[in-house]
Structure 1
Amino acid sequence: MIRVLVVDDSALIRGVLTEILSQDSEIEVIGTAPDPYIARQKIKTLNPDVLTLDVEMPKMDGLTFLEKLMTGHPMPVVMVSSLTQQGCETTLRALELGAVDFATKPTLDIRHGMEDLGQDLIHKVKAAAQSTVRARQKRKNSEVEVRPSLASSAMLKTTDTIIAIGASTGGTEALRDILEVLPPNTPPIIITQHMPERFTKHFSDRLNEICQIRVKEAEDGDSVIPGQALIAPGNFHMELRRSGARYHVVTNQNPPVNRHRPSVDVLFQSVSQYAGTNSVGVILTGMGNDGAAGLLEMKRAGAYTIGQDEASCVVFGMPKEAIKAGGVDKILPLSEIPADILHRVSQV
């Protein structure tokens, strides 16, 4: 059983979250708390496996509590956030501080759509229970540490190589670790990160502020060009297309694949079709098997493929499934992936 403590200042939300999570036979809600002070005592006495944590609470806000928790008693935390601008920004900060994942906060009419929300929350709590928790080190948004091996790659050859990256649980910080050290002339990058709409725009903007390359939420028809990373918009699949010598992306709302929209498999399969040998595929931390089939297709089409190793993953599910399927050429710790990508594209 996965033992969960629900922390939220709203009695209604505590009740709804408890009801949702209790639907799954593998999850037991062992307690609730209306504020961080009571939560701290219940963590000591109940020893939960996973904490769901509201971001806006009285006495102490969720971010302050999370930072203290990850310093003194690191444990898997799923943030429960609203879809407001402030909610998006706060949630991204929570992921930087070490939260495993987040779920969008239920509204008062939640019982009308409980099935979809319930499965998403249950999935994320189960992923959190399997995660390797690491407290993130503090770093300023303006701080970009360029490793010497990457800084010296300024003489990259101009190629048509497309870099495709897929990630889920733990992926927001993994993507930051990769993108912020890449030089301005890095070949085009296209990314699918499992994330709801609205959040992808804030996530892209946040990365754009700290990276040497341009990072933006993809729009239908965007050109795929060097020095830029496009991130699939939440609730939309993103696919690569080629017209003559020009690459671009298309977005659509076709049915979810592997429960996800955007789906990593959808992205990777399109890259295998339109870029083939002129591509590098990277699969990062995440729960489930999304991306495994697509990465195998990329490899069969002649792409070079990389899987993040277990030790550096928050959740090893997606890379593990891709490795089992035979779609990974090289398994690397997260810290070595940027240099390996650049070495590969410089050899093309």
Structure 2
Amino acid sequence: MGYRILVVDDSVFMRKIVSDIVSEHPELEVVGTAKNGKEAVEQVKLLKPHAVTLDVEMPIMNGLEALQKIMKEAPTPVVMLSSLTEEGAAETIKALEFGAFDFIRKPSGSISLDLYKVKQQLHEKLLAAVKVTMRSIAQPFAGSAPPLVSRGTAVNKPGVLSAAESVNKANAGKPRSSKFDQLIAIGTSTGGPRALHQVISQLPGDLPAPVLIVQHMPPSFTKSLAQRLNDVSQLKVVEAEDDQLLETGTVYVAPGGWHMMARREQGGGYRIKLTKDEPRSGHRPSVDVMFESLVPMKELKRHAVIMTGMGSDGAKGMLALRKSGAVITIAEAEETCVVYGMPRAAVELQGVTDVVKQPEIARKIVQSVHSASS
């Protein structure tokens, strides 16, 4: 008997396709299907599957509502099935904040034979999902660290955007400068959108450094991620563009499908460099590529962070940064990671100066920046 999987989709055709794909792996077994979110919640309680594949758009109760009920009433790892539309990408980012383990793309709309193209990806994510410790994704955002942004902003509340307008007004009014002597770089993968939501929402709008982020994610989803983070942050958050000038108080998210680096200009200042070079460790963007671009910039006080994710991307780059004199290199602590892969690799390679729980990472970054300024 393999790991028990529940398949949820409103399309009969898609339920059959996904069930067939799941069943092709010897360690995975489909124990049931559901055609809407209400059925999904009932089946999770009844069948107690090891993991669930969950469509976003469904009648009666959609995937986001079902996901929240599952996380509250019967916490179970969930892999979302996302459409390629802009709306689908935005909903998927919310799902990851609400506790979904990960997602796969529907290659071309809600009914698609070429879903088989993502068979290997679905198998990998389900096998990783069934092994995850649910404490790290089922609980609400941990509130052990008081927020570092002003009151009234949407901090640590997934899905709460009521204060987004005031946050955006606040971050739009902050003076930004292309003159700085500090830079923050963050790498993350599985579980990353939720972790980034917590960390970025806690950073103050007057941060005297740019923030570079590599999140393993396909094109179009990184744009939605940047928009979502911008809604809950006092910093300005954008999807990075080639040759974009780096400024303080701004977060640059690497676009899916592109490596992102920083490059120094001859006359001073720093810009984004995007390339389509070969994937590194299977990833483009790659955390290692971003970190390594910062290694020669010893004139900058560099602060590097690796958070939750599968694999080892970023570990070598973080070690190189530490050896080149980075102020701090932070790995997220195992107990708050959805997947303790990338941080573990960085710790084992001895590239890490500090191991920090997710709710404390923003505070640690701010402290590091302040001490480096004095």
SS at match of 1:215: strand
Question: What's the Cα RMSD here?
Answer: 2.4
Is 2:116 the partner of 1:114?
Answer: yes
Amino acid in structure 1 at the alignment position of 2:368: R
Determine the C-alpha separation between the residues in 2 that align with 1:19 and 1:259.
26
Does the residue aligned with 2:296 lie in a helix, a strand or coil?
helix
> Which structure 2 residues correspond to residues 151-190 of structure 1 after superposition, within 5 A?
159-186=180-207, 187-190=209-212
**Alpha-carbon separation, structure 2, partners of 1:39 and 1:181:** 34
- Residue 141 of structure 1 is matched in structure 2 by 161
Partner deviation per Cα, 1:292-315 (whole Å, 9 max, x = no partner): 111111111111200000111111
More off after superposition, 7-16 vs 27-36: 27-36
Q: What is residue 194 of structure 1 aligned with on the other side?
A: 216
Task: Assess, with a 3 A threshold, how the Cα gap between structure 1 residues 16 and 107 changes in structure 2: closer, same or farther.
Answer: farther
Distance 1:319 1:83 in 2: 30
**Selected match of 1:261 from 278, 284, 307:** 284
Give the equivalent residue in structure 1 for 2:351. Answer: 327
1:275 Cα deviation after fit: 4.7
**2:333 counterpart residue number:** 309
Moved more, 297-306 or 276-285: 276-285
Cα distance per residue 1:54-74 (max 9 Å; x no partner): 011122211121121111111
Q: For this pair of structures, how many residues does the alignment match?
A: 337
Partner Cα separation in structure 1 for residue 36 and residue 114 of structure 2:
27
Matching of residues 243-322 of structure 1 within 5 Å: 243-244=265-266, 245-275=268-298, 278-303=301-326, 304-322=328-346
- Partners of 2:259 and 2:274 within 8 A in 1: yes
**Does the aligned pair in 1 maintain the 2:106–2:115 contact within 8 Å?**
no
Note if contact 2:307-2:343 (Cα within 8 Å) is conserved in structure 1. yes
Which region of structure 1 is more displaced relative to structure 2, 133-142 or 4-13?
133-142
1:17-52 Cα deviation digits (max 9, x unpaired): 223333333322233222234333432343211101
How much has 1:247 moved relative to structure 2?
1.2
Q: CA offsets, 1:67-92, max 9 Å, x none?
A: 21111111111111101122122112
Instruction: Report the AA paired with residue 323 of structure 2.
Output: R
Greater alpha carbon shift after TM alignment, 90-99 vs 105-114 = 105-114
Q: Within 2, Cα distance between the matches of 1:276 and 1:3?
A: 53
> Is the partner of 2:295 in helix, strand or coil?
helix
Residue pair 2:331, 2:346 contacting (<8 A) in 1 also: yes
Contact in 2 for aligned 1:142/1:210 (Cα 8 Å): no
Give 4+ residue runs of structure 1 displaced > 4 Å after superposition.
108-113
For residue 112 of structure 1, report the CA deviation from its aligned partner: 5.0
- 1:130 and 1:247 mapped to 2: Cα distance? 42
TM-score (normalised: structure 1)? 0.89
Whether the 8 Å contact between 1:171 and 1:284 is mirrored in structure 2 is yes
Looking at structure 2, the residues matched to 68 and 211 of structure 1 have their Cα atoms a distance apart, in angstroms, of: 27
Indicate whether 1:101 and 2:123 are aligned.
Answer: no
| Counterpart AA for 1:331 | V
Whichever residue aligns with residue 230 of structure 1, its letter is Y
* Corresponding residue for residue 30 of structure 1: 31
Displacement of 1:331 after TM fit?
0.2
Q: Would the alpha carbon gap of residues 143 and 240 (structure 1) be closer, same or farther in structure 2, given more than 3 Å must change?
A: same
In the other structure, the counterpart of 1:69 is 70
**Aligned counterparts of 2:84 and 2:201: Cα–Cα separation in 1:** 26
Structure 2: tracts of 5 or more residues without a match: 142-156, 168-178
Unaligned runs of 5+ in 1: 147-157
Q: CA offsets, 1:188-241, max 9 Å, x none?
A: 110001111111111111211221111000000111211101000011111111
Percent same amino acid at aligned positions? 42
Give the alignment's TM-score, normalised by structure 2: 0.84
Conserved in 1, the CA contact under 8 Å of 2:230 and 2:237? yes
